[in-house]
Chain A
Amino acid sequence: MMEFIEWLASTSSSVALRESLYLYPWIESAHVLFIAIFFGTLLFVDLRLSGYVFKELSITEMNKKVLPLTIIGFILMCLTGFLLFYAIPIRNYQNLFFRIKIILMIIAGLNAYYFHRTMNRESKTWDKDSHIPFVMKFSAVSSLLLWSLVIISGRMIAYNWFDCDRQPQSEIINFLTSCIVETELYESLDGI
């Protein structure tokens, strides 16, 4: 994996992106805007499911109207997100928060998959009803919570508290970030 990441970092467009003065901040700003579109529209989908807004629309209608925008936001968010990763691949790959974020995204993805599978199968019985099954409400709230955590961990990627080039770190941190540290280097400093 590390070899692949190193190769990514060595590609000319990665170098160009990394060294660009304005392109990186522009992509970053776009990423934030797409997060707002994705998270904001998802919020309303989940609020409808919990029965707080747009009660006059059925859940399927609400999803049909809003979800395409959520998906567009998601795709653009991922695209800009990938470019941000691609600009600084090695540092991101070994960043603790980046790893936490990816895991949280996978969990959020599984939750969304479970949700829509159940929704497609069972929604006919409770679509217009105000009594949505508890598991579905739970899944909707979890989705918001998970994506909030994704946003928080994403924001933290910018901070280098646990980065490989900041040693000494605890062994657990170096394990979680796949950092290879020459410990002898530090041991020899002990006497000073």
Chain B
Amino acid sequence: MESNQILEIIYILEDSFIGEYVRSSLWLFPVIQSFHLIGLGILGGSVVLGDFRLLGILFRSESVSYVILQTKLWFNIGLFTLVITGVPLFLSEAVKCYYSRAFWIKISCLILGVIFVYFVRNPTALKSRNNFLLKFIGSVSFSLWVVTAASGRWIGFS
């Protein structure tokens, strides 16, 4: 797809009903943002607990699979909250996001992070006993989410 075609779609998204609605309100954007932050906290908690177990920092006497199973549901809840609040935030300023480097870094890391957690981290954590591999996976996952969150905050500065 050519870049001007992407930009056309971006303009359609920005002009969408939800985009217009969020933009027209003084309060809506910050309120949605606040819930986005709470979603980040929920996701952050499960990522920290899971990845720190993989890294061998936390829950050393519990098995890796146990910690992953206990935190999985809350990872999903956090991610759901983030997406449901993130989409209207994006729609309200889609064009600004398109031109923001921080936004593209964030989206890339987010997609990588989601794929990594569901298809690499969790399946491996439930099966593997290779400590080196688990530590490696834990550090990759943690880094991806740190960059996603931090670059997300940077969208607001650009």
Binding site for B on A (CB under 8 A): 25, 28-30, 32-33, 35-44, 47, 53-54, 56-57, 65-66, 69, 148, 151-152, 155-156, 158-159, 161
CA distance in complex: A148, B81 (Å): 14
Closest CB in chain B relative to A68 CB, distance in Å: 9
Interchain pairs with CB closer than 8 A, number: 96
Q: Cβ of B37 and Cβ of A151 under 8 Å apart?
A: yes
In the bound complex, residues from chain A placing their C-beta under 8 Å from that of B99 are none
In the bound complex, residues from chain B placing their C-beta under 8 Å from that of A152 are 31, 34-35, 37-38
Q: Cβ of A47 and Cβ of B153 under 8 Å apart?
A: no
Q: How many residues of B contact A (CB 8 A)?
A: 34
Binary A-proximity of B17-43 (CB < 8 A = 1, otherwise 0): 000000000100011011101101111
Q: Cβ of A44 and Cβ of B45 under 8 Å apart?
A: yes
In the bound complex, residues from chain B placing their C-beta under 8 Å from that of A30 are 150
In the bound complex, residues from chain B placing their C-beta under 8 Å from that of A39 are 38, 41-42, 44-45
CA distance in complex: A170, B91 (Å): 34
CA distance in complex: A133, B121 (Å): 37
Q: Cβ of B45 and Cβ of A36 under 8 Å apart?
A: yes
CA distance in complex: A53, B52 (Å): 17
Known: A25-B157, A44-B49, A65-B58. A36 touches B30 (CB 8 A): no
CA distance in complex: A192, B4 (Å): 49
Known: A33-B150, A69-B58. A158 touches B30 (CB 8 A): yes
Partner of B74 from the list A43, A66, A151, A161 (CB cut-off 8 Å) is A43
Q: Is B59 in contact with chain A by the CB < 8 A criterion?
A: yes
Q: Cβ of B30 and Cβ of A40 under 8 Å apart?
A: no
CA distance in complex: A161, B66 (Å): 47
